[in-house]
Structure 1
Amino acid sequence: MQSYTIREWEKLAYGDGEGQIPAHYADKLAALAVRSPFAGRGGSGVLEHGRHALRARGVVGILAAADCSLEILPKIDVGRTGNVEQQNAAIRKRLIHMLAVALNLKLDLGSITDLAWQRETLLEILIRVFCDKLTEAVRKGMPRRYVEQEDDLSALRGRLDVARQFTRHVVNPSRLACQFDILSEDTSLNRIMKAAVLHLSRMSRSSGNQQRLRELAFIYADIADTSPLALRWDDVVIDRTNRRWRELLSMARLFLEGRYQTTTGGAGQGTALLFEMNTLFEEYVGRLISRALAGTDLTVSLQGGRLFCLSADSTERGLFQTKPDILIRRAGTVTHVIDTKWKRISSRIDDPKQGVTQGDVYQMMAYAQLYRAPRLTLLYPHHPGLGATELVHARHRITGHETILETASIDVANGGSVLDRLRSLLLRDEPVSELLM
């Protein structure tokens, strides 16, 4: 199977040379990308299917057709040291770290060698982590629960089903219609795990992962097969008796029906595991901010505003609902609104506006009006072009108001002391300039 890797917003030219992709492979992958919900109205939200090249957009992950696959990595600056494979390995690590934070997972990646990070795709690494965690969990025992059963027996077991007894066995009283509970492993949680194992068996191209998945499929052989669409997610209750399965359940949901990903199949088209970086960056930053402010008098809400810009006198229904990414409150009052943007801004030397769009500024001014927040932040990913200073780059006062609007960045390539760095951003107080509109 031919595998290709590019980074978001980069191009992969058609051809048979190194760093190129044959046109017939490109056609298959582009057709698969169009079926994604991220494709958008024009069908180019994942890949632009140009005349001479494929171009990735702001969606990352894996597209896998029958005989080829394309890995799209985020544009994270990990430095210029090492070759391309080593740089891609570093990006995979950071992307999986972002996924772990966004999904509230605790992933032990220590068993994955540097060579594996370079040779295996994002999908294969995630499958490997899932298999290792699931194998460890089933060794400690599969979760079981009491399930109600009905059977016709010669002796009473459990309780008698009177209605069934006097309809079905009225002429044969030697058989008793029994209702009883048995401790069974055929539970909704185990059905979800089996569905994930079978699904990943169709997606994985790694011989090592295929071996792991075959071993797990054997363990789950007695669990009923259930279509992913028929799985009873709402029937799973995580409590103290099965808490070690919480992260496995989140990973299974990621593979089968995750918020960020989409799986496409049928008629040999292939499969996809995709993540929209705008959404992932928002969730990643939001959860980190919640952790950074834990223990303070500030509370954090993600997508928690939902006030309307307009209201009509003739109806109670509002118009143009707002959804700020992150709201920070003190004693119930909004003190800070943060909106995340997964795009590169320029330095103030190159552009005083730093590439911030007028629409973004108008959006933040609407938040200031609706939520009465004295501080607004547009938060972007950091890159070396912004210099060594990672956090606040510009602070302005909105003309005629006390509200402060600032642009800031966070380095997602640097996971060290990230909570301290965010705390520094959120609790700092500096002089500001006037924002001219």
Structure 2
Amino acid sequence: MQQIPIQNIYYLLCYAWDKLDESDIVDVKAIGTTELIDLFAKILINCTSRLLKRGLDRDYIENEYIINGVKGKLDLSASVKKNTFPSNKTICQYDEFDYDILHNQILKMTISKLLRAKNLDKELKDELHRLFIKMPPISEIQIRNSHFKQVRLHRNNYNYEFVLKVCQIINENLFIDESSGKYKFKDFLQEEKAMARLFESFVRNFYKIEQSEFLVKKENIKWKLVSEKETDLLMLPIMPTDISLISSSRKIIIDTKYYKEAFKARYSQSQDKINSNHLYQLFSYLMNQESNIETTKNCEGILLYPAVGGDFRFSYTYENHRIRVLSINLDQDWFNIKRDLLEIISGE
């Protein structure tokens, strides 16, 4: 798949992360680069600058010190073991209000890694370095994916949520180049599983934000299979939709697909065909969701693919169900992407 413009990638992320209200962090129209690493560095710079102006988050951290007298909690066994009493000292544990907490450690370490990345724009690297030296003493850690789940966000530090998502995507895509010892940023757009999740979240949140006719949700559809044994029914797999749009008069099931090739070639012929597995899956959703509710009997199904450049639109009917196979061209002005996505569900 060809490259999606940098500006559109930024909007994809803002919608997917449900952070459209923070999209003004970066003026994407002013971005001249086509390098993903530069985009994420710019986001990180702007987010970190905001945090430093507001003041980095702090919390109480329990530390252990050898001190004169007693402060906080006396660690008697450690004091005896290290024989501190003859010198009138003790080992005590007490809390200090400090910046050295997990989300600041992730932020500072991510900046440190970017400073060692190849092909990062020099001006951006200089900006990152200036921010890095402004940050207070914070421990270096080896960032793992589990760290992002451990951060506890609340109303006093919610402004870290967006920058932590940026830090996570940076860390997931930076790797050491053994020949130079520097970090390289891989093209995460080629990671089909990650981009499939991103594209699905983008489309779902886009419809949650940009229209008011439909309730937007993921839906677990039950199989219309019967069995005398309850244990047999428990063996049936879950059938969750990517996106279900439900109103009083219409229902639409959208199944999003992110593949480098939207069509799977049949090499024995000169033409390509719609991926049969994708069509079977959508068809199964439509058949099994039917109930005595009228909107389920007329439920529409859409297979939606991202595309760069060429568009395609195919339309079919099965009984009362309208089935469409569509692409959304991500290589166009964002206004047109928004227009096309809303047109898909307009009912015209």
* Shorter-chain TM-score range: 0.7 to 0.9
- Aligned match of 1:44: none
CA offset at residue 169 of structure 1? 6.2
Aligned residues: CA RMSD: 3.8
Letter in 2 for 1:415: W
Mark the CA change 1:323 to 1:354 in structure 2 (over 3 Å): closer, same or farther. Answer: farther
Cα contact 1:143–1:242 (8 A) shared by 2: yes
- Aligned match of 1:396: 316
- Aligned match of 1:228: 143
Cα contact 2:16–2:205 (8 A) shared by 1: yes
Mark the CA change 1:298 to 1:109 in structure 2 (over 3 Å): closer, same or farther. Answer: closer
CA offset at residue 194 of structure 1? 1.4
CA offset at residue 192 of structure 1? 0.1
Deviations for 1:226-252, whole angstroms, at most 9, x for unmatched residues? 112387323322222222222111110
- Aligned match of 1:267: 178
- 1:425 aligns to 2:344 (yes or no): yes
Letter in 1 for 2:245: I
- Aligned match of 1:51: none
- 2:25 and 2:74 mapped to 1: Cα distance? 53
Letter in 1 for 2:202: Y
CA offset at residue 339 of structure 1? 1.1
CA offset at residue 141 of structure 1? 1.6
Which ranges in structure 2 are unaligned for 5 or more consecutive residues?
A: 264-270, 291-295
- 1:139 aligns to 2:58 (yes or no): no
- 1:240 aligns to 2:155 (yes or no): yes
Which ranges in structure 1 are unaligned for 5 or more consecutive residues?
A: 1-7, 10-72, 75-90, 346-352, 388-392, 431-437
Cα contact 2:110–2:170 (8 A) shared by 1: yes
The structure with higher relative contact order (CA 8 Å, sep 6+) is: 2
CA offset at residue 217 of structure 1? 2.8
CA offset at residue 190 of structure 1? 0.9
Letter in 2 for 1:226: I
CA offset at residue 329 of structure 1? 4.2
Cα contact 2:105–2:140 (8 A) shared by 1: yes
Deviations for 1:238-286, whole angstroms, at most 9, x for unmatched residues? 22222222211111011113xxxx4332523844241235443322212
Aligned length: 319
Mark the CA change 1:335 to 1:246 in structure 2 (over 3 Å): closer, same or farther. Answer: same
- The TM-score, its normalising length taken from structure 2, stands at 0.75
- 2:160 and 2:85 mapped to 1: Cα distance? 49
Mark the CA change 1:293 to 1:120 in structure 2 (over 3 Å): closer, same or farther. Answer: closer
- 1:210 aligns to 2:135 (yes or no): no
- 1:299 aligns to 2:210 (yes or no): no
Cα contact 2:214–2:247 (8 A) shared by 1: yes
CA offset at residue 337 of structure 1? 1.3
Deviations for 1:59-91, whole angstroms, at most 9, x for unmatched residues? xxxxxxxxxxxxxx13xxxxxxxxxxxxxxxx2
Correspondence for 1:378 among 286, 289, 303: 303
- 1:368 and 1:337 mapped to 2: Cα distance? 8
Letter in 2 for 1:180: Y
3-state SS of 2:345 partner: helix
- Aligned match of 1:183: 97
CA offset at residue 151 of structure 1? 2.4
Deviations for 1:367-404, whole angstroms, at most 9, x for unmatched residues? 112333422112234777659xxxxx554331xx4332
Cα contact 1:310–1:319 (8 A) shared by 2: no
CA offset at residue 288 of structure 1? 0.5
Q: Sequence identity of aligned pairs in percent? A: 18
CA offset at residue 356 of structure 1? 2.8
- 1:112 and 1:416 mapped to 2: Cα distance? 14
3-state SS of 1:265 partner: strand
Cα contact 1:157–1:180 (8 A) shared by 2: yes
- The TM-score, its normalising length taken from structure 1, stands at 0.61
Deviations for 1:89-139, whole angstroms, at most 9, x for unmatched residues? xx222222223322334333765675x51x552221321231132123213
- 1:95 and 1:196 mapped to 2: Cα distance? 20
Mark the CA change 1:386 to 1:242 in structure 2 (over 3 Å): closer, same or farther. Answer: closer
3-state SS of 1:211 partner: helix
Mark the CA change 1:297 to 1:272 in structure 2 (over 3 Å): closer, same or farther. Answer: closer
Mark the CA change 1:250 to 1:110 in structure 2 (over 3 Å): closer, same or farther. Answer: closer
Cα contact 2:221–2:288 (8 A) shared by 1: no
Letter in 2 for 1:232: H
- 2:221 and 2:108 mapped to 1: Cα distance? 38
3-state SS of 1:379 partner: strand
- Aligned match of 2:293: none
- Aligned match of 2:253: 337
- Aligned match of 2:334: 415
- 1:384 and 1:171 mapped to 2: Cα distance? 76
Cα contact 1:100–1:107 (8 A) shared by 2: yes
Deviations for 1:182-235, whole angstroms, at most 9, x for unmatched residues? 011111011101121122112242211221222233234621111123873233
- 2:134 and 2:140 mapped to 1: Cα distance? 13
1:1-400 matches, within 5 Å, as 8=1, 73-74=3-4, 91-105=5-19, 106-108=22-24, 117=32, 119-161=33-75, 172=86, 174-205=88-119, 206-220=121-135, 222-229=137-144, 232-257=147-172, 262-265=173-176, 267-268=178-179, 270-275=184-189, 276=192, 277-294=195-212, 296=213, 298-301=215-218, 304-305=219-220, 315=232, 317-319=234-236, 321-329=238-246, 335-342=251-258, 355-372=273-290, 373=296, 374-381=299-306, 393-398=313-318
Q: Which protein is richer in helix relative to its size?
A: 2
